[in-house]
Amino acid sequence: MEEVLKINRPFYERYSQLDEREEFWNLLLTPLRQSIRINTLKAPLDYIKARLEERYELEPIPWVKEGFFINTQEFGNMMEYSLGLVFPQEASSMIPPVVLDPKPGELVLDMAAAPGAKTTQLAQLMKNDGCIIANDMKKWRVNVLIANLNRFGVLNTRVTVKDGVYFKRFENTFDKVLLDAPCSSVGMIRKSFKFLNDWSMRKVIMYSNIQKKLILAAYKALKPGGILVYSTCTVDPFENEEIVDYLLRKTDAKLERIDLPLKSTPPVLEFGGKKYSEEVKKCLRLHPQDNNTEAFFVAKIRKP
Ligand SMILES: C[S@@+](CC[C@H](N)C(=O)[O-])C[C@H]1O[C@@H](n2cnc3c(N)ncnc32)[C@H](O)[C@@H]1O
């Protein structure tokens, strides 16, 4: 806590109102456990797992069949990594594709896709069948996305470089939409203190405004009966419950409960002078101490 106060006092003051538990602050600053997702687009799960177990200890991640905690950080010399058989991916970041649950043959929009951890996971769930439009606004990040799609053997994806708002013109088009939104990345502090240094209330408000535009476009592009998953790797209610509450007020969107084998923190109904619909209780809010992962927020939304 002392450390956080020294680096960024406004950060400490804001989030001590959100979670006073000491473990919140301890885990927020503790380096992450390394995890991987096995890429079944290239070889069977058991085969890759058995190869890895000859050299590493793997511990299953309870909420994703292909996910494992692994006792190495060294991927440069790992043959399975070079071959695209494993994707180093944070355990909580595997949740949004699992919740979206895309099926082979579906048309899926991944609105903010780079560098492609979740796009490759979506393609895996779709068994490389159907079509993913993988979009990102930043060209340099899209280059990494394309490299990852190639290395991981993804064959059902078309890449675009647009502001996500562009997709609102494709009204009622996609079976599923993933909006893994740009955010203030508080969850990423466990990877780098840069995110603690860089945090400011001005940025939270800036992201909140962008997220509102993106979620409206994402919802518009969704087919009736389709599912939209909204996610961030941050804890700020202005970027989480507020965005979902905004969508519920502006449209006919319905929230669905998320049922996964993990611990979570109750969603926030009131914060910073704002109140949100009781419906947001259906969202999944993960604080770092819940499952010893990055902080994450996930909402599952259906268009009637
Ligand atoms: C959380 S990251 C996405 C991570 C990615 N889904 C993954 O799993 O690898 C958010 C992304 O949103 C992109 N972005 C920022 N503003 C955007 C906008 N207006 N439209 C589309 N993408 C945007 C950023 O370039 C960044 O790559």
What ipTM was predicted for this assembly? 0.99
pLDDT at 83: 95
* Locus of tokens 């007020």: 249
182 lines ligand 1 (CB under 6 A): yes
Lowest-pLDDT range, 23-27, 96-100, 134-138?
23-27
Active site positions, annotated: 233
Nearest-angstrom CA–CA distance, 133 and 153? 16
187 lines ligand 1 (CB under 6 A): no
Confidence of residue 2 (pLDDT cuts 50, 70, 90): confident
The protein residue with its alpha carbon nearest to ligand 1, atom 1, reads: 182
Locate the ligand 1 atom nearest the alpha carbon of residue 213 and give its number. 19
Question: To the nearest whole number, what is the mean pLDDT of the chain?
Answer: 96
The protein residue with its alpha carbon nearest to ligand 1, atom 2, reads: 182
- Percentage of residues of the chain with pLDDT beyond 90: 94
Confidence of residue 162 (pLDDT cuts 50, 70, 90): very high
pLDDT in tens, 187-238: 899 988 899 999 999 999 999 999 999 999 999 999 999 999 999 999 999 9
* Locus of tokens 């940025």: 203
Confidence of residue 1 (pLDDT cuts 50, 70, 90): confident
Question: Ligand 1 centre and the CA of 138: distance in Å?
Answer: 8
Average pLDDT of the segment spanning 84-91: 97
- Is 39:87 a contact under the CB 8 Å cutoff? yes
Nearest-angstrom CA–CA distance, 180 and 118? 9
Contacts of residue 125, defined as CB under 8 A and 6 or more positions apart, other chains included, come to 97, 98, 101, 102, 103
Instruction: Give, as one character, the DSSP assignment of residue 233.
Output: S
| Ligand 1 pocket mutation pick from 87, 92, 121, 138 by most atoms within 8 angstroms of CB | 138
Confidence of residue 154 (pLDDT cuts 50, 70, 90): very high
